Amino acid sequence: MKRYVFILFLFFSFSGFAQTINNYKYVVVPEKFPFLKTANLYGLNDLAKFLIEQKGFTPYFDNAELPADLANNKCKALNLEVIERKTMFTTNLTLLLKDCQGNILFKSKEGKSREKEYKASYNFALRDAFTSLDSLNYVAMATPTTLPVAQQTPVQQTPVAIAPAKAEVIVAEGTLYAQPITNGFQLINTAPKVVLTLLTTTVQDYFIAKNETAHGIAFKRNGEWFFEYYQNNKLITEKLLIKF
């Protein structure tokens, strides 16, 4: 009986906690994490801003110009913190979301990575920690727009069927490593050399992509990444191996 009551307590506590998170739209991300020597070292702060935005929040760096409603009331935002637990062979990072009074409203699991290279290890550990946010089912705050009834009358349109284009499929050589940049990622090889630039869109796992010779799109399908572009009026689909 005591165990049953305890489980119910945890369930209702978590539900109330998730509701508290849903009361916030903005998240302030620090330009520098205290466990790193310089601002945005390894692109980690850019990555944190990117990941929190992917969860539906509207993030701002702590040194950026804020929208008027947030600038006038900093308590409208959550503050993102990342803490590191040092061990010999593993990078361990934990994500915290705090209110303006310093109360912890969310604490992630400890993200871990055993990668030997610092940049990859910190990136993978942070991404692992951010997966804890998936369980919150956060819904971005929005102001609904109501149109006059006369403007809501649906317009009948005749659908146009367009057959998908046939493409020549090639497989790119080697693994590409994703490095966060403003508005997206740059993919680098082991040289290291920038091979492809990905710019974010409003669709998840769908990027505007370009390299030195081609402009196209990059997208994820069935767990695999592809870069599609036209070359001499012929559609090329290039299969990529990407590590984020």
Reported pTM: 0.55
CATH class of 8-136: alpha beta
* pLDDT given for residue 158 in this prediction: 57
Domain boundaries, the chain: 8-136, 168-243
Q: What is the pLDDT at residue 192?
A: 81
**The residue type at 58:** T
- The closest alpha carbon to 95, from 24, 41, 47, belongs to 47
Cα-based torsion angle of the residue sequence 185, 189, 194, 196 in order, rounded to the nearest 10 degrees:
-60
Residue 159's pLDDT band (cuts 50, 70, 90): low
Q: Enter the tokens of residue 38.
A: 């310089």
The reported pLDDT for the residue numbered 23 is 86
pLDDT at 236 over 80: yes
> What pLDDT, on the 0 to 100 scale, is given for residue 54?
86
- Which pLDDT score, from 0 to 100, does residue 145 have? 39
DSSP notation for 158-215 = -----PPPP-EEEEEEEEEEEEEETTEEEEE-SS--EEEEEEE-SSTTEEEEE-SS-E
pLDDT confidence bin for 61, thresholds 50/70/90: very high
Amino acid (one-letter) located at 136: L
Section 32-55 average pLDDT: 92
Averaged confidence pLDDT in the chain: 82
> What is the Cα gyration radius of the chain?
22
More confident residue, 171 or 238: 238
Nearest to 34 by CA among 20, 19, 45: 45
Residue 30: per-residue pLDDT: 95
Residue 91 has pLDDT above 90, yes or no: yes
Res 233: pLDDT? 81
